[in-house]
Amino acid sequence: MVSIEHFSLDKNSKRRLDELCRNIGLDDSSNQSIIVKNLSMLAINDYIDKPLQDLIAEFRLGDISAILLTNLPSISHPIILSLALAFLFGHPIRYEGEGDYVVEIKSQEGTDDQPSFRNAVFFPLHTDLTYVDQPPHFFLMHSVFNDTRLGGQTLLCDIYDIISILSYPTFDCLKTSRFFFKTPPHYSGVVQGKHPILSEVAPFRYAIRFREDIIQYSNILEKGAIEELLNVLHTHTVHFELLTDTVMVINNQRCLHGRTAFKNQGQQSRHLNRVYIQ
Ligand SMILES: O=C(O)CCC(=O)C(=O)O
Ligand SMILES: [Fe+2]
């Protein structure tokens, strides 16, 4: 099973984080690099209590698929809170050609229907930034507004649950073949090389890189291996509701994520902030 650790902020940490965001002296329209610089000068870990600090340390070691933090302050500057939360887990990073530190996951008019953070279609299980040389280890999705009655459920699947189920030829192919991931339309950075789906990052420890809608294979063996992987992923997917004012931080090396399609509803539409973390 996916190991999601749930942690509810205590009253004191909630109040301190709220104050921190208000005192930063900037708002959501400020240059994000300045917000990051100001936040980086604070010892943000001192704002939360020890049990959460310990849980985050364990998560960074790679032992947990995802952490769900609830009881967040509901503030008027969600970008600042998203970045402050990223600093609790590491350091926010920006990828050239992908967008700013905080990317708003929000459906916009007129985008095509390839799965994207800019539309509302079903986004199958994937890891983020498969098309760059070094995808982020972690990322967060801060739910600013999400009425899950309209769809948009989060899907999760941990590779530690599925590696032992794969047939040996498939496992071997995913480890040894190199695949090209076509860049999505929004990406304006450089196009990088081919990569295996599974990489051994330490003895018996694998990182996954996978996104069904942009992967390219070159032979029938690779096609079969991807099909078997997809079948196994589908039978081990967990559905989850990322409610407003919660944040999920995901290990992008071991836990795939996706979302179901959703309906937009005028001004009050689904809005998540995403931050990559190293
Ligand atoms: O909308 C979501 O919940 C996820 C979006 C996503 O996975 C992405 O933009 O990479
Ligand atoms: Fe994603």
pLDDT tens track, the chain, 278 positions: 788 999 999 999 999 999 999 888 788 888 999 999 999 999 999 999 999 999 999 999 999 999 999 999 987 889 999 999 999 999 999 999 999 999 999 998 887 889 999 999 999 999 999 999 999 999 999 999 999 999 999 999 999 999 999 999 999 999 999 999 999 999 999 888 999 999 999 998 999 999 999 999 999 999 999 999 999 999 999 999 999 999 999 999 999 999 999 998 877 899 999 999 99
Distances in Å between the Cα of 128 and the Cα atoms of 14, 181, 194 are 29, 11, 15
pLDDT at 113: 87
Mutate to test the pocket of ligand 1, among 122, 123, 186, 237 (most ligand atoms within 8 A of CB): 123
Owning domain of residue 78: 4-277
Sign of CA dihedral 103, 273, 76, 44: negative
pLDDT at 26: 80
- Residue 48: CB atoms within 10 Å: 21
Measure 257 CA to ligand 2 centroid, in angstroms. Answer: 6
pLDDT at 24: 87
Backbone angles phi, psi at 227, to 5 degrees: -60, -45
Backbone angles phi, psi at 52, to 5 degrees: -70, -40
- Which atom of ligand 1 is nearest to 152's Cα? 3
pLDDT at 112: 81
Measure 188 CA to ligand 2 centroid, in angstroms. Answer: 17
pLDDT at 76: 81
User: Under 8 Å CB-to-CB from 129, ≥6 apart: which residues?
Assistant: 95, 98, 135, 136, 252, 276
- Tokens standing for residue 194: 């081919």
pLDDT at 207: 97
- Tokens standing for residue 185: 């339309």
Strand 238-240 to 154-158 pairing: antiparallel
Token pair 């902030």 is found at: 273
pLDDT at 157: 97
Distances in Å between the Cα of 52 and the Cα atoms of 9, 70, 163, 174 are 8, 12, 30, 36
User: Under 8 Å CB-to-CB from 197, ≥6 apart: which residues?
Assistant: 174, 175, 177, 179, 208, 209, 210, 226, 229
Which candidate, 239, 277, 276, places its Cα nearest to that of 258?
Answer: 239
Query: Could you give the number of structural domains in the chain?
Result: 1
pLDDT at 27: 81
- Which atom of ligand 1 is nearest to 154's Cα? 3
- Which atom of ligand 1 is nearest to 258's Cα? 7
User: Under 8 Å CB-to-CB from 101, ≥6 apart: which residues?
Assistant: 32, 33, 35, 36, 83, 86, 92, 93, 94, 275, 276
CATH of the domain at 137: 3.60.130.10
Among protein residues, the one whose CA lies closest to atom 7 of ligand 1: 258
Among protein residues, the one whose CA lies closest to atom 2 of ligand 1: 259
- Is the Cβ–Cβ distance between 17 and 84 less than 8 Å? yes
DSSP 262: B
DSSP string, 155-212: EEEEGGGTGGGS-HHHHHHHHH--BEEPPPTT--S-----B-SEEEEETTEEEE--BT
Helical segments of the chain, H only = 11-23, 32-40, 50-60, 78-89, 168-176, 220-235
Token pair 């590696």 is found at: 163
pLDDT at 98: 96
